[in-house]
Each structure stands twice: as structure tokens, then as C-alpha cells.
A = this chain, B = another copy of it.
Amino acid sequence: MHIMITGAAGMVGRKLVEKLAGTRTLAGAPLERLTLLDVIEPAAPAGFAGTVQRQAIDLATPGVAQTLVESRPEVIIHLAAIVSGEAEMDFEKGYRVNLDGTRQILEAIRLAGQKDGWCPRFIFASSIGVFGGALPALIEDDYVLTPQTSYGAQKTMCELLLADYTRRGFIHGIGIRLPTICVRPGKPNRAASGFFSGIIREPLTGKEAILPVGTDVRHWMASPRSAVGFLMHAIELDLARLGNRPNLTMPGLSVTVGEQIAALERVAGHKAVALIRPEPDAMIDHIVREWPQAFNPARALSLGFRAESRFDEIIKVFVEDELGGRVP
């Protein structure tokens, strides 16, 4: 099997590549080749016995997508995107990368498939950002998508392309709406959602973290390990089971900031919690209160997708995967 990954140098991409590097067979076929793409050259995974090709490219550049499909991978995992903050700041870049970039890959696949019948599995990383604006407390699988960011609009449009290209037989598509990923490793960033990870990651490494919202704020989260698990499951899933709705809200954990902090105290004690400094920011508070709070992802659960069910597990994943298993 040959798997191509766009956005392979991103946080989820790197962890997915690491997981794949340790995988010998998928859906009964030997994993022989990985093609890793990003705007910067992705790192080579350790311990992979097969062939790895790595390339720094901008997928939104016209003509690039046509060259990529020449190797006819069986599976394409499309993670590449600019994040919601940047898509909101730079309107043109957001549409160019997130919408046109995706469409150009899909078009290149369609045109290549017209020649030789190639029809790859296409796994698209969507986002719960497709939901927005006066949401119910619990969002069902058949709830309307009314995104309130340009990023969300672009992801929704890509979901529609994915569904139409799948229906027409050009790809075998599946769209994976990722929850907010927590705990994100790395440095604090300026994303409005950054504090959900920051209030866990920073105290666990002895640093102060800012909490800009009230502890009653509720949101939908899953660990990086779960995100990789969703994508691995999507590689092997029988896509006929998706029927005519190939885009799925992934499972996650609905948790309040207060519950996050209580879990942190159970794992790392009061000295960790004491490093969280409340510094209310009305704008961030307003933004995150418009985000989804909880889903009933019945379809994804019935298809075997799984995430954490307690926030303690999410912290445990961070401690194991990023801190070598030790709570400082």
C-alpha cells in the first residue's frame, strides 16, 4: 500500500507518520510506501522499512496537484490547511489554500482516473468549525452546518466537494471532523482555543498558564492520539458503510474548563493548578462560547471511531507521549 499525506509536517501529520512508520500491514495489505508533503519538508520517520518520499511543496500552486497524482497512491490523507486564525486574517489565502488547494487535488485525481480508472481512498481532515451560530447544547449528526469563520466555510465546502466526487465515483471519500485537539504539545500560540491546551501543558512543565475564560466554558476535545486513531481507522474502514453521507463528526469528550482543572489537580496536584492564572478576556470568552459544546456522534461511534471518555485520560496521553510518562 502507498499512502500520501499532505500537511505531514503539522502536529497531527507528524504523529500520524510516526504511527504509520511502525505499521506493517493495513487492511490486510503491506504498507510499502509513504509520500510526505508539506510547505516545509517533513521529517523522515524513524524505523519505517518501506520507501519514504518527502517533498516541500505548495499544493495551492496551479499545476502542483497534477504532478502529485502521477504516483497513484492507494490512499491520500489530506491534512494540509491554514488554521482558522490565519484564514480569518487573510481572506484570500484561506480560500486559496483551504478551498482551491483541496479542489485542485480532487480535480487532478478525477482527471487521472479518467485515463486509467484510478480511484483512491481520500481521507479529509475537517473540523468541528463547520458548526457555528446559535448551536444547541447537544449537536446531532443531522444538524445544519452554518460555520461562523472563513475556515469553517472552507472546510464545509471541501466536505461538499468530497461528497460529490465520491458520489460521482471519482474518489472513495471520507471526511473526518476533528474535535479541538487537546493537549497540543509545543509552545503557547495565539489561537483563541490555545488556552484549552495551555492550562494543562504549561503547569505540567512548571510554567504559568493564562486562563482567559470562565471555568463554566464547555467544549469538545480529543487527544492527538485519538486524532491519529481516527485517521488510522479511516484507512481501514469499509466506506460502503457511510452510505450517501461521507462526512462524520468524530467522537470526543464534552468537558468544562473547571473539569479540566479538576483532572489536572488529580494528576499533578495543587501546585500545578496554582500555576493557572485567571486573566479574563471578554473577546476570547465571547468567541469560545459560540463554539460547539457537545455532540452526539452516533454515526461515527457505530462505525467504530473511538475517543477518550474522561479528561484524566487526555492528560495521561500527554504525559505518556510528550513527557516520557513522568509527571514532574
Contact = CB atoms under 8 A, between A and B. Distances in A.
B168 A91 contact: yes
A164 interface: yes
Interface stretch (A19-27, A47-55, A147-155, A315-323): A147-155
A153 B163 contact: yes
Interface stretch (A138-146, A210-218, A224-232, A281-289): A138-146
Given A153-B161, A160-B153, A243-B133, A144 B147 contact: no
B244 A133 contact: yes
Given A134-B244, A156-B160, A161-B153, A145 B148 contact: no
A300 interface: no
A150 B161 CA distance: 9
A98 to B, nearest CB: 12
A2 interface: no
A306 interface: no
Of A91, A132, A143, A146, the most chain B CB neighbours within 10 A belong to A146
- How many copies of the shown chain assemble into the complex? 2
Contact of A147 (B141, B145, B160): B160
A262 interface: no
Nearest to A245: B146
Contacts of A145: 144-145
Contacts of A310: none
A167 interface: yes
A245 B150 contact: no
A172 B164 CA distance: 29
A261 interface: no
A257 interface: no
A68 interface: no
Contacts of A144: 141-145
Contacts of A255: none
Nearest to A88: B168
A164 B150 contact: yes
Nearest to A157: B157
Contact of A146 (B133, B148, B150, B163): B163
Contacts of A156: 160
A133 B168 contact: no
24 contacts: A91-B168, A132-B244, A133-B243, A133-B244, A133-B245, A134-B244, A134-B245, A141-B144, A143-B143, A143-B144, A144-B145, A145-B145, A146-B245, A147-B160, A147-B163, A148-B167, A148-B244, A150-B164, A153-B160, A153-B161, A153-B163, A153-B164, A156-B160, A157-B157
- Shortest beta-carbon contacts, A-B, top 3: A153-B164, A133-B244, A142-B144
Given A147-B163, A153-B161, 5 more contacts: A133-B243, A133-B245, A134-B244, A147-B160, A160-B160
